Amino acid sequence: MPAPDLQQRIADLNLLAQTLNQTLDLREALDAALVQICHLIGLDTAWIFLRGEADTFLLAARHQLPPALSYPGPAWDERCDCQTQCAAVPLDKAVQMVRCSRLREAVGDKWGLMQHASVPLRSGDEVLGILNVATTQWGRIAAPELQLLSAIGWLLGTAIARAQLYAHVKVRRVQEQRTLLALSQDLLVSEDLEPALQRLARVGARLLDADACAFVEADELAGRAVLRAAFGWNLPANLPWPLALDPASPHLWYLPERTSILADESLTPLPPLLASQGFHGHLGLAVDLGGAPVGTLMVNSRVPRQFLDDEVQLLGLLANQLAQTLERERLHQEALARQRLEQELDLAREIQASFLPHCCPSLPGYQIAAYYRAARQVGGDFYDFIELPPPPGSAPTAPGSPPRRGETVFRAGRLVAPDPQDLSSAQRLGIVIADVTDKGVPAALFMALSRTLLRATAIDGRQPAEVLQRANRLILADSRSGLFVTCFYLTLETASGHLTYANGGHNYPLHYATATGQVQPLRARGIVLGIVPDPQFEQHELMLQVGDVVLLYTDGVTEAMNPARELFGDERLHALLHAHAQRSPHEIINAVLAAVTEFAAGQAQSDDITMVVLKRNPLG
């Protein structure tokens, strides 16, 4: 058999090596390799067995079998001598010539093949399989070919070991991914954080084949590191959980990222609880939330061990799971806090609503309507109706005067069932509208204070300017919040229609006079309440005629804004009152609300809206 020259043989071996290295599919690589092996040796028939469990051998690849050895077929049912020898006493030669028992027993055309060269395919001392190259009874394999078969056996053994290792790693990665997926699903449905953290610690130790796994949280407020979850640690009994691991430092800055001798490579002596564990191998990763470190996830072994890069990546995946769990818990707690706040604000809204009049007064010869809607759950606007004592020297109201129903009150944008406050016998009525210069809960609390002080000051019948002066002193004495309130206060003598009013820095109410058909603001100089100790307030008077209308409002109406950031403004409100003055107070309020809503064009309400409309009607 002519031998190829050395240069060609080296080239052919390199080609075989490339074939074995180009694919991780072992069966595909062996099939391709057999073709090249037969070409190199100058023979036609070869096959490869791979060793399985319990010393079984499975046919992994074959090339040009004779008809008597057709596969599948009865010739392959029994174990052959080369397999038996390999299982009992591992083949001790690089290449061994064997009289083939399988060929001997086969029935049919054998192409004269009677023996084969058996090459053990090894990884170290372990036999992974057998390469059989068949020859005829009289065929011989020369020494160079035997050496070549020995080299081929080494290449095949290396390729098989690499492919099996890859398959093992692949299976392990699939198992790791399955475990991580199961952990992620468990963490998603977990309602309690502590059991979720403990489960993550158990899974971390198992995935990295470590003795222990723990999450150490950085408690920045207390300035300490806290053991929040631990698996495989020897912990003292009957101590409150979580345990303080380092009472002096929230971050374990002194620990190396990974080491096989933890105590020796720590920059400072280990905290007593950590030192008592006897850890040697260590791998730790910082757990970040929003770029800020919140703790350390670490795995440990009690024997020296250097963790590998792929184990670092696996711990990184667990750290990401942990960060997501902590973030989800934070969001959950924030949602609970918001829910509690919403409930408290709902209660505050109900309490604040109780400060507003339940309904509008019923006065003979007058109609009154009111509307209030906060920009948030609670607000800083308020209005009030106060029954006042009659002016000095006035005659008592004649008994038996028929009452007249008042208009409906709208509170928080909702219609309240009519239940008029019967003030048909009242000779004087005080009307207050006010606006605290803030929103939300602080404004609501200040509103309650201001409303109480104004009512207490006005109820004995003082003149409007005096009421504002006294209320200002009381607000300054009781308030420490730095807030202030605008206020407009008027008194109405019901018999005559005489109005007296004073203004504490509030929007000027609008007066529609039937006699002239004009809308004029009720101007009166005055400063907001709660800023200076002794302000001066102008006081003016007006005789309200039949058909006249007074519209009191807060700046949530005139400062409503459209998408172009334009204000609704005073002029539009003047025009609306002029156009709708002949209607009832209820209808006037509805017209203003409709115009403001259309003007805003979907823009969110930015300030509280409050209106009170007073209209004088003929008696009867």
Check residue 395 and give its pLDDT: 54
DSSP state of 350: H
Q: Express as a percent the part of the chain with pLDDT over 70.
A: 80
Cα three-residue angle 258-264-267, rounded to 5 degrees: 75
pLDDT score of 407 more than 60? no
Helix axes 309-355, 440-458, angle to 10 degrees: 20
Long-range contacts for 194-200 (Cβ within 8 Å, ≥24 apart)? 194/228, 194/229, 196/325, 197/228, 197/229, 197/322, 197/325, 198/229, 198/230, 198/231, 200/229, 200/318, 200/321, 200/322, 200/325
pLDDT band at 491; cut points 50, 70, 90: very high
Structure tokens at 276: 């008592």
- For residues 104 and 25, which has the higher predicted lDDT (pLDDT)? 104
Q: Where are the beta strands (DSSP E) in 366-419?
A: 366-373, 381-388, 409-411, 414-415
**CA atoms of 579 and 537, how far apart (whole Å):** 32
Tell me, what's the pLDDT at 410? Answer: 47
Q: Give the pLDDT confidence score for residue 47 in this predicted structure.
A: 83
Percent share of the chain, pLDDT over 90:
37
Helix, strand or coil, per DSSP, at residue 122? strand
CA–CA gap between residue 135 and residue 154 (Å, rounded): 21
**Distance spanning both ends of the chain, measured CA to CA:** 137
Query: Which domains can be identified in the chain, with CATH numbers?
Result: 6-169 (3.30.450.40), 193-332 (3.30.450.40), 356-555+605-616 (3.60.40.10)
Amino acid at 213: C
* Residue 182 pLDDT level (bands cut at 50, 70, 90): low
Contacts of 287 (CB under 8 A, 6+ apart): 215, 293, 294, 295, 296, 297, 319, 322, 323, 326
Could you give the CA distance from residue 261 to residue 281 in angstroms, rounded to a whole number?
A: 6
Rounded CA gap, 598 and 449, in Å? 35
Contact 324, 187 (CB under 8 A): yes
Q: What is the pTM of this model?
A: 0.53
Top mean pLDDT of 139-143, 166-170, 333-337, 541-545 is at 541-545
Question: Quick one: average pLDDT of 91-95?
Answer: 63
Q: Respond yes or no on whether the N-terminal peptide bond of residue 242 is cis (omega within 30° of 0).
A: yes
Burial of 578 (0-12, 13-18, 19+ CB in 10 A): middle
Nearest-CA neighbor of 509 among 410, 614, 602? 614
Give the pair of three-digit tokens for residue 424: 């048909």
DSSP codes of every residue in 178-220: HHHHHHHHHHHH-S-HHHHHHHHHHHHHHHTT-SEEEEEEEET
Q: What pLDDT was estimated at residue 322?
A: 82
Would you place residue 394 in the very low, low, confident or very high pLDDT band (cuts 50, 70, 90)?
low
Q: How far is residue 125's CA from residue 92's CA, in Å, rounded to a whole number? A: 10
CB 287 within 8 A of CB 279: no
List, in sequence order, every residue forming a beta bridge with 62; answer none if it has no partner: 47
Residue 548 has pLDDT above 90, yes or no: yes
